[in-house]
Amino acid sequence: MSLNLPFTDKKRIVIIGAGFGGLSLARKINKKEYQVVLIDKNNYHQFQPLFYQVATAGLEPSAVSFPLRKVFEADKDIFIRIADVIAMDEQDKSIETSIGKIQYDFLVLAMGTTNNFFGNKNIEAFSIPMKSVTEAIALRNTLLENFEKSVLADSDDERDGLLNLVVVGGGPTGTEIAGTLAEMRHYILPKDYPQMNFDRMKIYLIEGLPTVLNGMAEVSQRAALNYLKELGIELVLGTFVKDYDGRQVSLSNGNIIRTDNLIWAAGVIGNTIKGLPEAAIDKGNRIMVDEYLRVIGSENIYVAGDMAMMKDTTYTKGHPQLAAVASQQGSLLAKNFNKMAAKKLPLKFVYFNKGSMATVGRNKAVVDLPFMHFQGFFAWLTWMFVHLILSLGVKNKIFIIINWFWNYVTYNPSLRLIIKPFQREPKPELK
């Protein structure tokens, strides 16, 4: 298969992954000096912080996705290729993909992370993850289908299993989706199913640590716990999920929870690529890099985003796996490649922590800034403003504002659609 990549006198930079790190690099690098090849398995950038709103029918999938070719429609020296990456060959300076072999002068790995099921095959098989737009849609479909099935349930046990929701992981994703599901239980489901008693519906949030939002300030953790309790969420802290068979969740404290809905937000692990030196792979499949984000022991391979493991005196266990870190790393790599072309010395990466935040529900959020912490309605407005600014595209921002405003005023998001992929019937054989 021809890749249609012209050979020029420019150095070729191949970027694998169009997340926050890869996209930031590709947008800011000097295309007059380099030929840039951006590879991703999807033809769009995904805004992960709002996946949970897609999963709970608050936003359209298109509102959190943006076509890559639209982003770079004015750039003639960037080549977008939709493919799966199979392996890399450092000696040959090439990568093997599902569409063929691609040579590079510089390679940037920005493939991000995937769900970490900690080796438990049952949890991997039966739980519902949420690390991509397609998984968020699948979660929405599963929840809505189970609500429909609950109307027809013949026993309390069957009905409880369909209605009960278990969220595993007390980080921002887990707390945000648990809070939203609790609001659905209170405001939306009684309207859709007036014959049902949703007092029986239980929403559990399970976290292995003694508190939620580990890594945020104690005052924010306490506020988040209070918000979750106000919403009627059953908190199970300091406890791990041992197993799940699709019907029962087995906990480390010996308890069993009956549910057909286990939402997995308990951890991530770096995506891997065959051919990377094993010595450079650290815990969680993160890749060890130096202060210039160059892979340890390599001359022309770099990492940006969640995959990068750079330790310093402030971040002894590596930088947090956040969109802000990935964007700053992508920007620094763009500066350094531009400096390299101008024969100037590169800059070292120093993470500027602008703060962290999480929302638990309507008017309920927590914000940690380097100089202050605040919670409540103003924190919720701050959370919305920041995520609106970070989302790509004017149209997406407008759609997000309209949906948020409508949902806030009416208490009734209108995207509760079960959309299944079309499956064509096999064609009959001709005789």
pLDDT for 428 equals 66
424, pLDDT greater than 70 = no
Q: Residue 302's beta-bridge partner residues?
A: 108, 294
pLDDT for 1 equals 46
Encoding tokens for residue 376? Answer: 């409540």
Angstrom distance (rounded) from CA 18 to CA 12: 17
pLDDT for 144 equals 93
pLDDT for 421 equals 72
56-88 tens-digit pLDDT: 988 888 889 999 999 998 888 899 999 999 999
Domains and CATH numbers, the chain: 11-115+269-341 (3.50.50.60), 121-266 (3.50.50.100)
pLDDT for 333 equals 97
pLDDT for 427 equals 62
pLDDT band at 403 (very low <50, low <70, confident <90, very high): confident
271-306 tens-digit pLDDT: 888 998 888 899 889 999 999 999 998 989 999 999
Which of left, alpha, beta for 297 (phi over 0: left; psi -120 to 50: alpha)?
left
pLDDT for 429 equals 64
14, pLDDT greater than 50 = yes
**Average pLDDT score over residue span 208-216:** 92
Beta strand pairing status for 94-97 and 85-89? Answer: antiparallel
431, pLDDT greater than 60 = no
220-266 tens-digit pLDDT: 999 999 999 999 999 999 999 999 999 999 999 999 999 999 999 99
Burial code (b: 16+ CB inside 10 Å, e: under 16) for 142-151 equals bbbebbeebe
- Residue type at 46? Q
Q: Residue 269's beta-bridge partner residues?
A: 114
270, pLDDT greater than 70 = yes
27, pLDDT greater than 80 = yes
pLDDT band at 430 (very low <50, low <70, confident <90, very high): low
Nearest Cα to 268, choosing from 257, 284, 281? Answer: 284
- Token look-up 């968020």 returns 136
∠104-108-346 over CA atoms, to 5°?
A: 100
Encoding tokens for residue 413? Answer: 């998001």
- Residues 179, 211: contact at Cβ < 8 Å? no
Which is more confidently placed, 9 or 24? 24
Beta strand pairing status for 234-237 and 203-207? Answer: parallel
∠336-338-340 over CA atoms, to 5°?
A: 70
Nearest Cα to 61, choosing from 428, 362, 417? Answer: 417
Backbone torsions φ then ψ of 172, nearest 5 degrees = -55, -45
347-371 tens-digit pLDDT: 999 999 888 999 998 999 999 998 8
Q: Residue 129's beta-bridge partner residues?
A: none
Per the prediction, the chain carries an average pLDDT of 91
Strand order across the 364-369 sheet: 356-361, 364-369, 372-375
137, pLDDT greater than 60 = yes
**Average pLDDT score over residue span 160-178:** 94
